[in-house]
C-alpha cells in the first residue's frame, strides 16, 4: 500500500509555501520542509493534486488559525483604537473650551486691574501736578516777598544815603556854624544818632529779610526736589503701568489669536473626528463584507473538505482495486509459472520419448540381416 499523506485543501491554500531544502547527497535531490514557522519536518511527497505545504493536518490547522488571528488583529485592533479615540475626543474638546473660557475670564480680570492701576496712577499724577502748581505759586509769592524786601532794603539804603548826606551836610553846616550855634550842633548830633539807629534798623531788617528769603529759597528748592522726585516716581509708575497695559493688550491679542487658532484646531479636530467616524463606518462595512467573505470561504472550505473526503474515498477504492489487481496478477503469474513448469516437464518428457524412439530403430537395424 502507498504511504502518501493527504493534507487538507484549506491548509494547502496558505500564504506560505513549503520550503525546499537541498540534501547533501546530491545537487538534484531536494526535500520540502513544512511551511509552519518553527517546524523543520519534511513534507511528504504527493503524487496527486498540488504538492503539500505542511507536514501534518495539525500544522495546517495551526497555520490557518494563525492567519485568522492575524486578520482579526489587523482589523479589530485598529477599529477598537479608533473607537476609543472617538469616545475620548468630545471630552478633550469640552475641557479645552472650558480652559479657554477661564483664560479669557482671567485676562478680563487682568485688564480691569491694569486699567484701575492706570487710573490710580493718572489720578496721583494729577494730584502731584496740582501740588507742584501750588508749590510754584508759593514760590512765586515768596519771590514777590523777596523782591519787596529787596525794594525795602534799597529804599532803606537810599534813606541811609540821604541821611548820611544830610548828616554830612549837617556836619558841614555845624562845622561852619559851630562857632555860631551850639544848639545846632546838639540837634545835628541827635539827627546823626537817629540816622545811625535807622541804619541799624534797616540793616537788621535787611539781614532778617535776607535770611528769611534764603530759608524760603532753600525750602522752595527742597519742595521742588521732593515734588520733582514725586513727579519722576509717578511718571515711572505711569510708564510702568503703560508698559504693563501694553503687555496685557499684547497678551490679550496673543490669547485671542491662540483662541482663534484653538477654535480652528477644534474645527479641524471635529472634521477629523467626522472623517474618523466615516472611516469607522467604512471599516464596519468592510468588516461585515469580510465576515460575509469569511462565511463564503468557510462554505468553500467545507466543499473542499467534502471533495477531499471524496478524493480519500476514491483513493481508498483505487488502492483496493490495485490490491485486488495485484492479487489477481500474482495468482495469474503463479498459474503461468505452473503452466510453464508443466510445459517444461512435457517438453522434457517429449524429448525423452524422442530420444528413446531414435535409439530403438538403430538397435533393430544392427541385429537383423538385410534382405536381398
pLDDT value of residue 2: 39
Do both 272 and 181 map to the same domain? yes
Asked whether 60 and 10 are in contact (CB, 8 A), the reply is: yes
Do both 165 and 268 map to the same domain? yes
| pLDDT average, residue stretch 88-100 | 80
Do both 123 and 271 map to the same domain? yes
268 part of a folded domain:
yes
Distances (CA, A) of 343 to 185, 339, 353: 218, 6, 15
From 279, 312, 332, the end of a domain falls on 279
Domain carrying residue 123: 94-279
Which positions ≥6 away from 216 have C-beta within 8 Å? Answer: 142, 145, 146
| pLDDT average, residue stretch 175-197 | 68
Give SS3 for 32: strand
Q: Per the structure, how many domains does the chain have?
A: 2
Do both 194 and 262 map to the same domain? yes
C-alpha cell at 209: 529779610
Nearest alpha carbon to residue 342 among 350, 354, 331 = 350
The pLDDT tens digits for 321-358 are 878 877 877 887 788 878 888 888 888 888 787 777 76
Asked whether 135 and 220 are in contact (CB, 8 A), the reply is: yes
311 part of a folded domain:
no
pLDDT value of residue 371: 46
Q: What is the CA radius of gyration of the chain?
A: 70
| pLDDT confidence tier of residue 76, bands split at 50, 70 and 90 | confident
325 part of a folded domain:
no
Do both 145 and 254 map to the same domain? yes
Half-sphere exposure of 252 (CA within 13 A, CB side): 16
263 part of a folded domain:
yes
Report the DSSP beta bridge partners of residue 19: 33
Nearest alpha carbon to residue 148 among 133, 140, 164, 199 = 140
The CATH number that applies at residue 98 is: 1.10.287
Beta 30-33 vs 19-22: how paired, if at all? antiparallel
Check pLDDT > 60 for residue 239: yes
Do both 105 and 252 map to the same domain? yes
User: Residue written as cell 518428457?
Assistant: 349
Do both 174 and 254 map to the same domain? yes
Report the DSSP beta bridge partners of residue 22: 30
| pLDDT average, residue stretch 78-98 | 80
Do both 116 and 25 map to the same domain? no
Check pLDDT > 80 for residue 177: no
172 part of a folded domain:
yes
82 part of a folded domain:
no
Query: Of the ranges 2-11, 171-180, 342-351, which one carries the lowest mean pLDDT score?
Result: 2-11
Check pLDDT > 60 for residue 362: no
Asked whether 8 and 20 are in contact (CB, 8 A), the reply is: no
> Would residue 49 be called left, alpha or beta, if left means φ above 0 and alpha means ψ between -120 and 50 degrees?
left
Do both 40 and 129 map to the same domain? no
287/75 Cα distance (integer angstroms): 7
141/10 Cα distance (integer angstroms): 119
Do both 107 and 224 map to the same domain? yes
259 part of a folded domain:
yes
Do both 249 and 126 map to the same domain? yes
The pLDDT tens digits for 256-309 are 788 788 788 878 878 887 887 788 788 778 878 877 877 888 788 888 888 878
From 230, 254, 279, the end of a domain falls on 279
Q: Model pTM greater than 0.85?
A: no
Do both 144 and 35 map to the same domain? no
Give SS3 for 7: coil
Nearest alpha carbon to residue 51 among 70, 31, 36, 37 = 31
Amino acid at each position: 500500500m502507498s504511504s502518501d499523506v493527504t493534507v487538507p485543501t484549506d491548509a494547502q491554500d496558505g500564504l506560505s509555501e513549503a520550503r525546499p531544502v537541498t540534501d547533501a547527497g546530491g545537487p538534484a535531490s531536494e526535500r520540502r520542509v513544512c511551511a509552519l514557522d518553527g517546524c523543520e519536518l519534511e513534507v511528504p511527497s504527493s503524487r496527486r493534486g498540488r504538492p503539500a505545504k505542511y507536514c501534518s493536518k495539525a500544522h495546517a490547522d495551526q497555520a490557518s488559525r494563525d492567519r485568522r488571528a492575524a486578520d482579526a488583529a489587523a482589523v479589530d485592533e485598529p477599529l477598537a483604537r479608533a473607537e476609543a479615540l472617538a469616545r475620548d475626543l468630545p471630552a478633550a474638546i469640552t475641557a479645552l473650551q472650558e480652559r479657554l473660557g477661564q483664560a479669557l475670564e482671567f485676562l478680563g480680570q487682568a485688564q480691569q486691574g491694569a486699567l484701575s492701576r492706570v487710573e490710580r496712577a493718572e489720578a496721583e499724577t494729577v494730584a502731584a501736578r496740582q501740588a507742584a502748581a501750588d508749590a510754584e505759586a508759593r514760590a512765586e509769592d515768596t519771590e514777590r516777598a523777596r523782591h519787596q524786601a529787596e525794594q525795602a532794603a534799597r529804599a532803606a539804603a537810599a534813606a541811609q544815603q540821604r541821611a548820611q548826606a544830610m548828616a554830612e551836610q549837617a556836619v558841614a553846616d555845624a562845622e561852619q556854624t559851630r562857632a555860631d550855634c551850639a544848639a545846632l550842633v546838639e540837634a545835628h548830633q541827635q539827627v546823626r544818632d537817629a540816622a545811625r539807629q535807622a541804619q541799624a534798623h534797616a540793616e537788621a531788617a535787611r539781614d532778617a529779610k535776607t535770611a528769611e528769603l534764603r530759608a524760603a529759597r532753600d525750602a522752595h528748592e527742597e519742595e521742588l526736589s521732593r515734588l520733582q522726585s514725586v513727579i519722576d516716581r509717578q511718571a515711572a509708575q505711569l510708564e510702568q503701568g503703560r508698559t504693563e497695559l501694553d503687555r496685557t493688550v499684547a497678551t490679550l491679542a496673543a490669547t485671542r489669536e491662540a483662541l482663534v487658532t484653538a477654535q480652528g484646531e477644534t474645527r479641524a479636530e471635529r472634521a477629523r473626528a467626522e472623517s474618523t467616524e466615516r472611516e469607522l463606518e467604512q471599516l464596519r462595512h468592510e468588516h461585515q463584507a469580510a465576515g460575509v467573505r469569511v462565511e463564503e470561504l468557510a462554505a468553500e472550505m467545507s466543499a473542499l473538505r467534502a471533495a477531499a473526503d471524496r478524493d480519500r474515498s476514491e483513493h481508498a477504492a483505487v488502492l483496493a482495486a490495485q490490491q485486488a489487481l495485484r492479487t489477481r496478477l500474482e495468482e495469474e503469474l503463479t498459474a503461468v509459472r505452473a503452466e510453464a513448469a508443466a510445459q517444461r516437464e512435457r517438453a522434457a518428457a517429449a524429448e525423452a520419448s524422442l530420444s528413446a524412439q531414435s535409439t530403438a530403430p538403430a538397435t533393430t537395424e544392427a541385429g537383423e540381416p538385410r534382405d536381398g
